[in-house]
Amino acid sequence: MSKSLNISNDMAKDFKLTAIGAIPADWDVKSLKEIGTFLKGKGVSKSEIQEEGLPCLTYGELYTRHNDVIKRFTSFISEESAKNSTELKFGDILFAGSGETLKEIGKSSAFVDDFPAYAGGDIVILRQTSQNPYFLGYLLNNGIVSKQKHRLGQGHSVVHIYSSSLSKLQIPVPPLPEQQKIAEILSTWDQAISTTQKLIDELKLRNKGLAQQLLTGKKRLKGFEGEWKEYNLGDIFQFIKAYSFPREKLGEGEIYYLHYGDIHVKFRHPILSVDNNQTIPKLKYEYEESIGSELLQNGDLVIADASEDTKGIGDCVEIQNTQNSKIIAGLHTIVLRDVNELTVDLFKGYYFKSEIIRNQLRRMATGISVYGISKTSVKKVKMKLPLKNEQKAIAKVLYDADKELMLYQQQLDTLKEQKKGLMQKLLTGEIRVKTE
C-alpha cells in the first residue's frame, strides 16, 4: 500500500514503565472497569435465528464471522425474540464468554452502528462511551491484552471468561486524537484486506465454474472436438504402497511424509510441489531404512481415504517436482499411478479435485463418525478423458487461472502481515502518529 499515513517513528519521546510494560509518558493505563460497565448478552438460541429481521450476534460468531470491528450481520431474530435479548449501543465491545481454548477465549469485536442489534447468551458486553470504539476493537485482540485474557480464562474442555475477570484487564490508553488516528490507519489496512478478500472469493467462484465446464466437456477449448472416452479408475491407475507411520515418528530426516490429515487441512491446492517444501513433514532418520522403492513420482495422486465429515471425502493432491526430493504417502492414504499413460500431469490433479470424482467417492464412503473409502471402491469410480493434447490445454487454462488467484492470495497474506506489524507498533506507542 502506498497511501501516506502520516506516521512518525519518533522514539525520542519519553516512555514510562507500567504494569503492562513500557508505554509513552503521555499515555495512561486503565482497567476496563474504569472506562465502562459490564452487562450480559442473553437469548438468541439457534432455533430463533432467521434470514431476515433484527440483526443479532451469537458468541460463536465472534470467532467465525467478526474481527476487530463488526462490519455486517449475517444472523437475525424476530421482534418477539429481541424482547428477551440484550440491545447493543454504539461503542459497545462484545467479548465471547466461552471458547474451546485459553488462546482464543475472550475474542472481542466493537459495535459501531446506530441501528438496533442484539447480543445473545455467553456474550459479555463492555458498555463505554469514553474511548474510541474502533481503537478498542483493535487493541483488545492484540498482544498485551490477549495475554491477560489467556491467564484469566477458566476451565478445560470448555473455557469461560467472566465480566469479573474482564473488568481487571489493564490497557494502554492514548489521548483520544491519537486513538482516532491509530484506528484510521488500521481501518485503511482493513479496507484493503476486505477488498482483496472479496476479489479472491470472486476468483475462486470463477475458477470453480471454469473447472466444472472444462473437466466435463460442457465447454470445449478452441480447436478440440470428438467424444471423450469413459474409463474405470481401475483401468487407468495402479495402486502404490503407502506407509502408516504415526506422527511421533516424524522429525529431521530426508524423506517427506504425506499424512492424510495434512491433505485435509494444509494442502488444499490440487497440485503439491515437493521440492524444498518446508511445510511437508519428514520422517525421522532412524525409520528411513524401512522404506523400500515405493517413493512417490511426479503425477502420482494421493487420496485421503478417511474423513470426519462428508465434505472431506476424496480430498486429493497430485505430486509434482520430486526430482530432487524423496516423498512417501502416509497413514490413511491411497496412492494412484497412471501406468497406462492415459492422463497428463496437472490435468489429473484438477480432475480429482472436482466434484466429478468427489461425488462418486462420497456415495461409496462408509462409516458413521468417520467416513472411509476403499481401494475396491476407488477402482469403480468413472473418469471421462479427452485426448492428451486436450488434457494439456485444459490443465494450462486451469493452472493459469490458479496462478492469478495465488497472486492475490499472496497480496492478502502480505497485507495481513503488514497490519499485524503495524498493530504491534501503533498499539504500544513504539510508533507514534501525528494528530495535527
> What's the confidence (pLDDT) of residue 11?
45
Low-confidence ranges of the chain (pLDDT < 70): 1-13
Q: Beta strands of 158-207 (E only): which ranges?
A: 159-160, 170-173
Provide the CATH number for the domain around residue 313.
3.90.220.20
Provide the CATH number for the domain around residue 435.
1.10.287.1120
> Among candidates 293, 347, 346, 355, which has minimal Cα distance to 321?
346
Query: What is the amino acid identity at position 207?
Result: N
- Tell me, yes or no, whether 241 lies in a domain: yes
Please give the model's pTM, rounded to 2 decimal places.
Answer: 0.83
- Residues 42 and 3 reside in one and the same domain: no
User: What 3-state DSSP class applies to 226?
Assistant: coil
Q: Which domain holds residue 163?
A: 28-173
- How far is 320 from 301, CA to CA, in rounded Å? 10
User: Of 363, 385, 407, which one is at a domain's C-terminal end?
Assistant: 385
- pLDDT, tens digit, 9 for 90 and up, residues 273-324: 999 899 999 999 988 988 988 899 999 999 999 999 999 999 999 999 999 9
- Residues 61 and 160 reside in one and the same domain: yes
> What's the confidence (pLDDT) of residue 115?
95
- Residues 234 and 369 reside in one and the same domain: yes
- Residues 287 and 168 reside in one and the same domain: no
Residue 120 and residue 56 in contact, taking contact as beta carbons nearer than 8 Å: yes
Residue where the block lists cell 492470495: 409
- Residues 368 and 236 reside in one and the same domain: yes
> What's the confidence (pLDDT) of residue 321?
96
User: What 3-state DSSP class applies to 211?
Assistant: helix
Residue 380: CB partners within 8 Å, gap ≥ 6?
A: 232, 233, 234, 364
Residue 232 and residue 381 in contact, taking contact as beta carbons nearer than 8 Å: yes
- Residues 207 and 310 reside in one and the same domain: no
- Tell me, yes or no, whether 235 lies in a domain: yes
How many other C-beta atoms can be found within 10 angstroms of the C-beta atom of residue 109? 25
Query: What is the amino acid identity at position 129?
Result: T
**Strand (E) or helix (H) holding 406:** helix 388-426
> What's the confidence (pLDDT) of residue 436?
74
Q: What is the DSSP string of 62-107?
A: HHHT--SB-----EEE-HHHHTTSEE--TT-EEEESEESSTTTTT-
Residue where the block lists cell 520430486: 322
> Among candidates 395, 362, 357, 392, which has minimal Cα distance to 232?
357
- Residues 277 and 373 reside in one and the same domain: yes
- Tell me, yes or no, whether 3 lies in a domain: yes
- Tell me, yes or no, whether 224 lies in a domain: no
- Residues 361 and 394 reside in one and the same domain: no
Cα dihedral 53, 59, 64, 65 sign: positive
How many domains does one find in the chain?
A: 3
Query: What is the amino acid identity at position 12?
Result: A
- Tell me, yes or no, whether 19 lies in a domain: no
User: What 3-state DSSP class applies to 432?
Assistant: strand
- Tell me, yes or no, whether 18 lies in a domain: no
- Residues 379 and 267 reside in one and the same domain: yes
- Residues 288 and 323 reside in one and the same domain: yes
> What's the confidence (pLDDT) of residue 12?
43
Average pLDDT, the chain: 93
> What's the confidence (pLDDT) of residue 1?
60
- Residues 378 and 234 reside in one and the same domain: yes
Classify residue 43 as left (phi > 0), alpha (psi -120 to 50) or beta.
left
- Residues 381 and 234 reside in one and the same domain: yes
> What's the confidence (pLDDT) of residue 151?
87
> What's the confidence (pLDDT) of residue 6?
54
- Tell me, yes or no, whether 20 lies in a domain: no
